[in-house]
Amino acid sequence: MDVIRTKAALRARVAQWQAAGEAVALTPTMGAVHEGHLSLVRLGLERADRCVATIFVNPRQFGPNEDFTTYPRDEEGDLAKFRSAGCDAVYIPDPGQMYGTDYKTEVTVTDISDVMEGASRPGFFTGVATVVSKLLIQSLPDIAIFGEKDFQQLAVIRTMARDLDLPTEILGAPTVREADGLALSSRNAYLTPREREIAPSLHRAMIAAAESVRTGAAPHVAAEQAKRDVLAAGFQQVAYIDIRSQDTFAPAEALSENLRIFAAATLGSCRLIDNIAV
């Protein structure tokens, strides 16, 4: 497995594979690798001949009071996990490779970035769209794979790639969960043992809300009940629990096709996000 630290070396390696007729998949991550990330690598190797993972804790997607400095980092452990999954290369740029000293450009996707995570974390999706566009341009892979746990982020990236005519197919991969339903996330490491017991309550409340809508409840009523359930379970704050169209992100008024329930809530020092189809 190659460990690559410059964009020139990354582009040369991917171009070498493509010149030999091999398709290349890219799986961007911020490290703190878990089974969810490894599932992206395995999907990449199913859909392409080569898979490149990236590790970059992107400062531009963290707000001033968020956890950039404390975000879990374990380069040696991450490399071992990617190697075990069959990854062909891992790209680990430093901030200077990604953003030069006179860097001035941002990529913003309007409309679908303005709700839920975008409203809760101003600037977050601009940071995501900027770094992902740069990773795609630096590597020019045939496909890039992102987890559906961050479903709104996936939609933003798909829109960005389409609108900028980037020659990469954007694929979504199913959310990977613990046996009790908790969606895998690097930030789950922040949970205390007691909080870890409470955490699956978010997923259970979402399942109950989805079932309620399917059996006739108004989406806003089901979402409000889910918020009450999550707070009653021990979460300190609910940023949002919304039922929306997964195509347009417009709020749902009644049961229809392609509805999805989205949630973000705080438990201790950990902010959990999740989504499921209705």
Residues comprising the chain, all counted: 278
Rounded CA-CA distance 213/52 in Å is 40
Instruction: Please list the residues that pair with 185 across neighbouring strands.
Output: none
Give the separation between CA 199 and CA 179, rounded to whole angstroms.
12
Q: How far is the CA of 6 from the CAs of 11, 77, 100, 139, 168, in angstroms?
A: 9, 21, 13, 11, 21
DSSP 8-state code for residue 167: S
The H-or-E segment that residue 139 falls in is helix 124-139
What letters, b where the CB count within 10 A reaches 16 and e where it falls short, cover 12-27?
ebbeebbeeeebbbbb
Q: Which two tokens stand for residue 61?
A: 């997607």
Q: Give catalytic residue positions.
A: 37
Contact 245, 257 (CB under 8 A): no
Give CA–CA dist 168/70, Å, rounded. 32
Three-state DSSP class for residue 162:
helix
92 contacts: CB under 8 Å, gap ≥ 6: 3, 4, 5, 54, 55, 56, 75
